[in-house]
Amino acid sequence: MKGRPLALLWVMAVACGELLELGPERSLAPGSGGSGGATTDASDSGGFGGETSAGDAGADSQDADGDSPDDIDADVTDADVTDADVTDADVTDGADGADGADAGCPQQAGVVFSTCTVVELTTPICTPSGTFTLDPDGTGPLAPFPAHCDLETDGGGWTLVLNYLHYHHTNPPVAVRPSSLPLYDPSRKLGTHDDSGTQYWGHASPKLLDQLAPTELWFEGLSTLTPRKISFKTSHAGCLSYLRTGTGSCAGLESSFTAFADHTAYLPAQATSFIPNKQDLALIEAPFYVLGKYHWNIMSWGERWEVDDWTNHHHNTHHRVLARSALARPTSCGAVSALNPSAKSGVYAIDADGPGPVAALPTACTF
Ligand SMILES: [Ca+2]
Ligand SMILES: [Ca+2]
C-alpha cells in the first residue's frame, strides 16, 4: 500500500540498514516471466483483495468509527477475496487520490497526468490509489477524464482500463469507451452488485488503450462458479499489439506471462486458442481460451460471461484489466518536476542511478 504503513515500513527497513525495493510488499520474485510462463509472485498481487486495502488507506483518516491504522502485515499477505477488510465502511477509494484525504499527503485534485504510471512516478509516496485526472494525448483532442489508478500492486502505476462486475443470469450490454475509462469502487462486490450502466462499467477501445502506451497488462478474473482466480501480468508483444490495435491475436501469451501469488487459474498457461481481430471487442471476446473448458469472456456472442470456466451467463463474474508503462523512477527531484510541473513537495521515490543497481529511495523534494 502506498499510505503511511508503507512509509513506516520503509523507516523500519532503513533503520535496519536494509534498502527495500520500491513497492516491496508487491515486488515480484526474480526470474519471473519468459518462456517458462507461469512463475509465481512472491507476494500477493493485491487486486480484488488488495484493492480493498486501497480503500483502507482512506479509512486511516476518514473512517468515522476511528479504526486504528491498518495492519500492513495483514494487507501484505492478503490473498483472500473475502477479506474481512471488505466490510470496512470506507468511502470509495476514488475519493482518496483526488482529495488527498490522508493527512499530510498533498492533494492531486486539478492536476492532469498522462497515465497512472506518471501518477505513480511523480506524486509523493504517500499518495493512495484512487481516482486521478488523465489526458493521455496531452494537447490532442481527447478531453481529460477521471481514471482509477492502482498505486500499490507490484510497484503501482496501473491504469484501470476494463471493469465489469456482472450479476448472474443477466446480459447487460458492454460499454466500449473511446474517450473515458471505467472507475472503480472496491465496496461493490462479486455476487452482490452489478455495475452495468454505471461509471464503473466498460472498457477502453483499442485506440484509447494505445494512447496509454502500455508495456504491461494485468488481467484479473473472478466468478462465483469456481474458486480459481485469474491474476497475471504480461508484456507479450504480440498480445499487447493486438489489444492496442484490435488486429492480431494473443497467441503466445500462454508461455509469456507472470502469475501473481493469488493466481490459481488454468488460463492463460493452458490456452490453446486465441480469437483474433475482434477490434473493439479484443479485450472481451476470448482473447485466450481452451475450447469447451476454460475461457475469458465478457458478454461474448451476446451471453457469455466466463472466468477460467465455461458457464455461459449463469454465474456472477468480475473482470478487470489494468495497464501500465515502464516504471522508470525519476533520478532526481528535478526530474520529478520536469515530468510533472504541478508536483507538490513531499517524499518521492528517487532512483539516483536510474537503471543501475541501487534501488530507489524515499527522498524529500521541495518544489
Ligand atoms: Ca487532450
Ligand atoms: Ca537503480
In this predicted model, what pLDDT tens digit does every residue of 53-87 receive, in sequence order? 333 333 333 333 333 333 333 333 333 333 333 33
Separation of alpha carbons 367 and 318, rounded Å: 41
Q: Is residue 85 part of a domain?
A: yes
In a domain, 359, yes or no: no
Report the separation in Å between the CA atom of 38 and the middle of ligand 2, taken as the mean of its atom positions. 26
**Confidence bin at 312 (pLDDT 50/70/90):** confident
Q: Dihedral sign for Cα 106, 150, 88, 84, please.
A: negative
pLDDT interval class at 313 (50, 70, 90): confident
Distance (Å) from CA 142 to ligand 1 centroid: 4
In a domain, 217, yes or no: yes
Please give the distance, rounded to the nearest whole angstrom, from the Cα atom of residue 243 to the centre of ligand 1.
22
Q: How far is the CA of 112 from the centre of ligand 1 (A)?
A: 10
The alpha carbon of 242 and the centre of ligand 2 are apart by a number of angstroms equal to 32
Question: What's the CA-to-centroid distance between 350 and ligand 2, angstroms?
Answer: 9
Q: What is the dihedral of CA 82, 2, 23, 47, to 10 degrees?
A: 30
pLDDT, tens only, 147-173: 999 999 999 999 999 999 999 999 999
Q: Which domain holds residue 150?
A: 4-8+24-324
Distance (Å) from CA 349 to ligand 2 centroid = 11
Q: Which residue has the cell 491475436?
A: 249
Q: Which ligand is nearest to the CA of 351?
A: 2
Q: What is the pLDDT of residue 104?
A: 77
Q: Which ligand neighbours the alpha carbon of 358 most closely?
A: 2
Ligand 2 mean position to 149 CA, how many Å? 24
- Which ligand is nearest to the Cα of residue 355, counting in written order? 2
The answer to whether position 339 is within a domain reads no
Question: Are 175 and 319 contacting, i.e. CB atoms less than 8 angstroms apart?
Answer: no
Residue 351 lies in a domain: no
The verdict on residue 275 lying in a domain is yes
CA dist 95 and 15 (Å) reads 33
243 Cα–ligand 2 center, Å:
31
* Prediction pTM value: 0.78
Considering every ligand atom, which ligand is closest to the CA of 353?
2
Provide the domain count of the chain.
1
Q: Is residue 18 part of a domain?
A: no
Q: Would residue 59 count as lying in a domain?
A: yes
